[in-house]
Every structure is written in structure tokens, then in C-alpha cells.
């Protein structure tokens, strides 16, 4: 199992993607960065080093590539448990008894409201997709600069994506074990954790629901990682 790449594992046996995968256009700078990042992930390089900005590359492009990649990968992970995440089994978007996440988008949901986990995550993924597809926030042409709201938007996206990790680990860990996805999910989590911490994109307070998990799998001595292609 350890030799199988992340994408091979999550596509094996028809495991579904919760949302259609977002792709980079071939020939663009971000497509090249995406391929470079994927190649590094599959090379056995320690994840702490993989997240660092490559020499000569633009930080905003590097962050944009990773935001989209994390969106895709976390969609795949949630896709493996979404049949078990229903309004009956998960009536609140929570991470155990202590943590509950309320939804607000400033448009339809102007004030934070409690929602069943599958509804919350569906709205979250729709919202992220709308941000990624918004040329005013995520410009795709090299001659168009990133706007001032780009980093704040990325921070909000990544913080909210982390909540999917929280819910999956705390409420659906048995499902990950059943399908043998634990190691692959852990590797994705480590990559996410190292990236957002390296660039200070998610507040440490957000990680509190997974404090023990983070200490166990992210704050240990480096070891060989699973292939992440």
C-alpha cells in the first residue's frame, strides 16, 4: 500500500471525488509549478522541504497552486467518507463535543448558522470553487497581478479546508481505517500542516481540535513519506 501514490489510491476502485477536480491549463506558469510540486512530492524528499518556495519562483503563484491542490486532495479524502456523513449521522459540522463550526458566506448566510456537516461541507466546497474561479482573486494570466485580497482569501480557504480534516479524523476515522486510507490521509495532512505553517497561513488556534494527531504525525523526526503523485 505504501508504494501506491495518493491519487492512485483514491481513484482505485472507483472511489469518487466529492467535487470535480480543478486543473491548471497546460503551458501556464502555474501548470509548471503544479507539476514541479507533484514531482517533488513523489521523489521521497521530506515534506518539510517540499513546501519551501523554489528558488526564483513567485510566492503568490506557489500559494495559488497549493490552495488548488489542497482543495482537490481534500475533496478526494472527503469523497471516501461522504456516504457515511449524512444529516442523520452528522447533524452538526463538528469536531467532537468541544468544537462546532458555523457557516457564513456574507451573501446568503450573512450571520453564522449551525448546519449539518454534509451541508456545511457542500457549501464550503462551492464557496472555495467560486473563489478559485474568480479571475479578480485568482488571476490566470501572468501579466495580471494578484489583488490585495488574495492572501486573506487564501487564509480563509485554508482555515476552512482544515475543518474538513477535523471532521473526517474525529467522526469518520473508522471509515479511513476500513478502506486503508489512514496513511495516505496522514501524509496529506502533514503536507498541509507544513505548508500553512511555513507561510503562516492558518492560525495555530485552528489546530486545537487535532492537537494530539498533529503532535503524533507532524512533530516527529523526518521519515520516508508516501508517494504523493
Which residue ranges make up the annotated binding site for Zn(2+)?
85, 90, 167, 172
CB 84 within 8 A of CB 76: no
Cα–Cα dist 141/144, whole Å? 6
- Residues 144 and 87: their CA atoms lie apart, in Å, by 42
**Nearest of 89, 88, 95 to residue 160 by alpha carbon:** 95
Nearest to 161 by CA among 69, 90, 227, 81: 69
CA separation for the pair 84, 172 (Å, rounded): 8
Residues constituting the chain: 229
Annotated binding site: 85, 90, 167, 172
**Residues with Cβ < 8 Å from 80, sequence gap 6 or more?**
10, 15, 175, 176, 179, 181
Cell numbers describing residue 153 = 482569501
Rounded Cα distance, 158 and 43, in Å: 25
Amino acid at each position: 500500500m505504501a508504494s501506491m501514490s495518493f491519487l492512485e489510491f483514491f481513484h482505485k476502485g472507483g472511489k469518487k471525488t466529492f467535487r470535480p477536480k480543478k486543473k491548471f491549463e497546460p503551458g501556464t506558469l502555474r501548470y509548471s509549478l503544479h507539476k514541479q510540486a507533484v514531482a517533488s512530492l513523489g521523489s521521497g524528499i521530506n515534506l518539510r522541504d517540499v513546501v519551501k518556495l523554489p528558488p526564483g519562483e513567485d510566492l503568490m503563484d506557489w500559494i495559488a497552486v497549493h490552495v488548488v491542490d489542497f482543495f482537490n486532495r481534500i475533496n478526494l479524502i472527503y469523497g471516501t467518507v461522504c456516504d457515511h456523513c449524512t444529516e442523520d449521522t452528522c447533524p452538526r459540522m463538528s469536531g467532537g463535543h468541544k468544537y462546532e463550526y458555523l457557516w457564513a458566506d456574507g451573501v446568503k448566510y450573512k450571520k453564522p448558522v449551525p448546519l449539518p456537516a454534509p451541508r456545511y461541507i457542500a457549501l464550503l466546497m462551492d464557496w472555495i470553487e467560486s473563489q478559485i474561479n474568480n479571475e479578480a482573486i485568482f488571476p490566470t494570466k501572468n501579466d495580471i497581478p494578484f489583488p490585495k485580497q488574495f492572501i486573506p482569501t487564501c487564509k480563509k480557504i485554508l482555515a476552512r479546508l482544515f475543518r474538513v480534516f477535523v471532521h473526517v479524523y474525529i467522526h469518520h476515522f473508522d471509515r479511513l481505517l476500513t478502506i486503508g486510507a489512514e496513511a495516505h490521509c496522514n501524509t496529506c495532512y502533514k503536507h498541509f500542516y507544513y505548508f500553512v505553517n511555513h507561510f503562516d497561513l492558518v492560525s495555530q488556534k485552528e489546530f486545537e481540535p487535532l492537537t494530539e494527531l498533529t503532535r503524533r504525525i507532524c512533530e516527529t523526526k523526518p521519515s520516508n513519506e508516501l508517494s504523493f503523485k
